[in-house]
Structure 1
Amino acid sequence: MINNLSHYKMISMDWIEDYIQRLGIDKFCDFEKRVNLALDKLRPGRYYEISTSVQVADQELFIKFCCCYITQHPHYEMSDDYCRIYNKQ
């Protein structure tokens, strides 16, 4: 079966409050920090395989944080199926 994680893409910012309530602010911020650090370390021309490197239970939040990251780092790009994030630099 081919993975498609595009249903997790960020449409609006409404998801933030829900996740903060579920996880608590500390876990939410810690997760965001870990995602940002992983993406900061992604070398130019490489990609991060979300579908196999991120636990299934964490994929939705990981992808939403990736979408936020892209707004500040336009040389990053999600694949059409949202299974990978690329550093296109």
Structure 2
Amino acid sequence: MSFRPWHPLTWLVQPPDSCNHDDWKILNTLAENHLPKAAHEKLQDVLHRYKRHVAMLRKGVPMVLEEESDEIIKERWAKVTEEDLLWGWLNG
């Protein structure tokens, strides 16, 4: 079972190509066009914070892994998807 669409942030973060986009498109339209202004602004703040944190991870983890000798850890990080990061961020 997918964690989508249970958190409003997922309404703004496009799912991977392998997912059905029909439900997401409906929820994205709802979030972008029909939420009260204050709720939309709050959701945009959460989206910006999420993107900032993911950018830091994408930059920082590879720098740390350069010094890591365990290839399994490097292989596992290489398999982490954007969807994994979103789920982890929402549950962190």
Per the normalisation by structure 2, the TM-score is 0.36
Structure 1 or 2, whichever has the larger Rg, is 2
Whose helix proportion is higher, 1 or 2?
Answer: 2
Higher relative contact order (CA 8 A, sep 6+): 1
Whose strand proportion is higher, 1 or 2?
Answer: 1
